[in-house]
Chains A and B, each alone.
Chain A
Amino acid sequence: MLTYLLRRLVILILSLFLAAVVLFVLLRLLPGDPANALLGVGATAEQIEAARAQIGSDQPLIVQFGSFIGNLARFDLGASFVSRAGVLEEIGNRMSVTLPLTIIGFLLAIAIALPLGIVAAVKSHRWYGAAISIVSQLGIAIPVFWLGILLVTVFAINLRIFPSGGFPLKGWANFGEAATAMVLPALTVALVIAASLIRYVRAATLDVLGSDYIRTARVLGASFPEALVRHGIRNGAVPVVSILGIELATTFLGAVVVEKVYALPGLGSMLLLAIQQRDYPNVQGVLFISTLLVLLIGFAADLLQRFIDPRLRGRRSEP
């Protein structure tokens, strides 16, 4: 287990390094100089040069890359070109919106998808089993932002139950308001993720239902629910957990769009603005931390799978 953990850790660090290189190169391929975003019409040539020198965009790429990797090794993500705020600190602030949104949305999605997915499989010949499958198919086809607009129109503008967007100025210190502000965004994320999760849960359940061990359990006298709970869930959970890992990462990235619709000050809005302004430290910072999180989620899902299924423990990991 220890060698496995070490191996995974090395892979994690290598992946991060690769991600950092790709990030750096891709960003510099984008046309445009970050100095432009700092200055407007009316700026003189001297001002443009001074701005470039100040943020270092006049340095050769190799020098910029060297200092980027060097800082990264010390986990120093630098400061924004535009706002001058520390990138890591700002990411921390934004996480207080994005992380709760991702986690609440994801848990809500599981709460919706698990029972519905199992029902859709167990009762696949009944009309409601089929209806769940059809509605979840439809849910996959709906764009997140459209669903967001729909929920805002119904619950914020017409019914006036929840705010249409925004986040309280004092953040979570104003818990009631912050929690209310999270409801519609989290629901939007949850519905979209649940739609695809239902299909996986249904497929995994169907697989389990047709398996030999369920049949054997039934022959040995277990009732159907008993057989399903004692043997089915643990077996069915293995493929679902790896999907959950991927879906959690998707939820996190999907929050970007949701934040825009609901005017939430999360990582997504930080990233979009930073890209527009070619604010390299912010873009790099957000993408790097996101990559780190996605890799960690994959790692955790892998560990969890091994915990659930002893058969996997002896195997070597697949990177």
Chain B
Amino acid sequence: MSVTRRTLLAAALLSTVAFTPAFAQDFDAAASIRIGSLYEPQNLDNTAGAGQGINEAFNGNVYEALFQLTDAGSVEPKLVESHDVSEDGLTHTFKLKPGVSFHSGDPLTAADVKYSIERVTAEASKSSRKRSLSTITAIDTPDDATVVITLSARSVSLPYNLSYVWIVNDAAADITATEDGTGPYTLGEWRRGSALALAKFDGYWGEAPTNAEVVYTYFTDATALNNALLTNAVDVITSVQSPDSLAQFAGNPAYTVTEGASTTKELLAWNDRVAPFDNVKVRKALAKATDKARLLNAIWGDYGTLIGSFVPPTDPWYVDLTAVDAYDLEAAKALLAEAGYADGFEFTLDTPDYDPHPIVAQFLQAEYAKVGVTVNINIITANEWYEKIYKAQDFQATLQEHVNHRDIVFYGNPDFYWGYNNPDVVKLIADSESAASEAEQVEKLTEANKLIAEDAASNWLYLYPQIVVSAANVTGYPVNGLNSQFFAYGIKKTN
């Protein structure tokens, strides 16, 4: 590689034509990167029910936050220069980076930050992260470059939670169809149902993107998306959801297949409030009666990971807990007998009607028959799931994929749909938030994670793989895509 480059450079220097810059880089800075995705944003505002697609297209690309959740899972300062916390942990002072301006040309000020945080906590906000900012009692702006946030209780995750809060120009009113952020790209053309283009922002305060334009092209059908990559209509697929289609890319030198760490967990959630799932022995027995390795292989082949808990490896409190209730049919039968279900029992599994849930349900039906437990599969729509399971909590067991990063905190809420209530866990999770340091937070959540796993609060089947497929001449894209983010500014294309 280096020899070739040196040779080319020498050739360029020898020639009188001034195209040295083109050869000095090993990528095309004027390239347009075409990204294929299944997640079309429904509007352009992440507090207005736009769906995960808006995070994919806009987080870090069009909008930036005070902090950024990197693709590796760490939280780094983005628009803040410094962050000081008072002794009691209740007052956070942020100094903003100088020289940052919005795409409209307005400079970034403390008032914009206050406005942006209040947008997320507002009554009409549909942000799923609204609750995590509920400890904020006041936001003060002593000068244009300083924001002081006062909390009602310590919140060690504040920087992390702020990584969700887009910093929007306070002069921008409705941003459902337009934008005014500080990121390296501005919104270009947008055609609903089809594609959304981002153009490089020349006034960007940070390092310039390695491409000139990014076009997110949306598909509703995974096969159509794969065909687009096969016919060179897109350069990258953000997240392959049909394992069968990987065969046509893997092993073909024209494509690169990368497997990153996702945060999407396939979960068999018991309703821990109702019999027999209020009995920890029953839950443990069924966890032991599930051959998860075989299930994962049946669905994803060689991809995906077993984690034995709700915590993916990119969360700081991850520990491998697959050994806690490892596959063991005899132990499962013994536990069922101890719980008074030697002859098994029958339950209804509410199964969302889309992949992979119906297949998983059938697998579980066959598995649990081996220990005398009968599974009645009840297929429901996504809407019914939300009504019946999430809102009314009227169910015995259900399947669901949980996509968020750092969502173990759901187990600290006894009112959550699965109804898990262990006072020790509730306390550990509450205390972890008011921890004095991140180390202490990690320690407490690791402890909570172990307790939850010991209780077999739910049956954590597997962690989805995060598979990105690209044309071989395209590099530099994020491989993990945490929280559906897909930073485009480092993507390089060679001709």
Where the two chains meet, the residues of A that have a C-beta atom closer than 8 Å to any C-beta of B are 31-33, 36-44, 46-48, 50-51, 54, 82-85, 90, 93-94, 149, 152, 156-157, 160, 163-167, 169-171, 260-266, 269-270, 272-273, 276-278
A-B contact pairs, 18 of them (CB 8 A): A33-B383, A36-B383, A43-B128, A44-B131, A82-B42, A84-B176, A85-B192, A165-B233, A166-B194, A169-B189, A169-B191, A171-B191, A261-B224, A265-B191, A270-B193, A276-B382, A277-B42, A278-B383
Residues of B within 8 A of A90 (CB): 192
Query: How far is it, in angstroms, between the C-alpha of A46 and the C-alpha of B391 when the chains are bound?
Result: 12
Query: How far is it, in angstroms, between the C-alpha of A32 and the C-alpha of B352 when the chains are bound?
Result: 14
- Within B85-133, which residues are at the interface with A (CB < 8 Å)? 123-126, 128-131
Say yes or no: B130 contacts A32, CB within 8 Å.
no
Say yes or no: B191 contacts A93, CB within 8 Å.
yes
Residues of B in contact (CB 8 Å), total 49
- Of chain B, the residue at the smallest CB distance from A266 is B193
Please name 11 further chain A to chain B contacts, defined as beta carbons within 8 Å, in addition to the given A82-B42, A156-B227, A163-B233, sorted by A numbering.
A33-B383, A42-B129, A46-B123, A47-B125, A51-B126, A84-B174, A85-B177, A166-B195, A167-B191, A261-B221, A277-B42
Where the two chains meet, the residues of B that have a C-beta atom closer than 8 Å to any C-beta of A are 42-43, 48-49, 123-126, 128-131, 174, 176-177, 189, 191-195, 197, 215, 217-221, 223-225, 227-228, 230-231, 233, 381-384, 386-387, 390-391, 400, 402, 404, 407, 410
Query: How far is it, in angstroms, between the C-alpha of A166 and the C-alpha of B126 when the chains are bound?
Result: 31
- Of chain A, the residue at the smallest CB distance from B41 is A83
Residues of A within 8 A of B218 (CB): 263
- Of chain B, the residue at the smallest CB distance from A160 is B231
Say yes or no: B194 contacts A167, CB within 8 Å.
yes
Residues of A within 8 A of B402 (CB): 41
Residues of A within 8 A of B174 (CB): 84
| B389 → A minimal CB distance (Å) | 10
Residues of B within 8 A of A266 (CB): 193
Query: How far is it, in angstroms, between the C-alpha of A119 and the C-alpha of B230 when the chains are bound?
Result: 41
Query: How far is it, in angstroms, between the C-alpha of A93 and the C-alpha of B43 when the chains are bound?
Result: 16
- Of chain A, the residue at the smallest CB distance from B218 is A263
Query: How far is it, in angstroms, between the C-alpha of A110 and the C-alpha of B407 when the chains are bound?
Result: 58
| B30 → A minimal CB distance (Å) | 17
Say yes or no: A44 contacts B130, CB within 8 Å.
yes
Most B C-beta atoms less than 10 A away, residue of A41, A44, A260, A276: A41
- Of chain A, the residue at the smallest CB distance from B401 is A41
B126 in complex: contacting residue of A38, A83, A269, CB < 8 Å: A38
When A84-B43, A164-B224 are in contact, do A169 and B197 touch as well, CB less than 8 Å? yes
Query: How far is it, in angstroms, between the C-alpha of A277 and the C-alpha of B217 when the chains are bound?
Result: 21
| A92 → B minimal CB distance (Å) | 11
| B413 → A minimal CB distance (Å) | 10
Residues of B within 8 A of A51 (CB): 49, 126
Residues of A within 8 A of B384 (CB): 31-32
Query: How far is it, in angstroms, between the C-alpha of A270 and the C-alpha of B228 when the chains are bound?
Result: 20
Query: How far is it, in angstroms, between the C-alpha of A277 and the C-alpha of B49 when the chains are bound?
Result: 11
Query: How far is it, in angstroms, between the C-alpha of A33 and the C-alpha of B386 when the chains are bound?
Result: 9
Say yes or no: B124 contacts A164, CB within 8 Å.
no
Residues of A within 8 A of B123 (CB): 46, 50
Query: How far is it, in angstroms, between the C-alpha of A274 and the C-alpha of B174 when the chains are bound?
Result: 22
Residues of A within 8 A of B125 (CB): 47
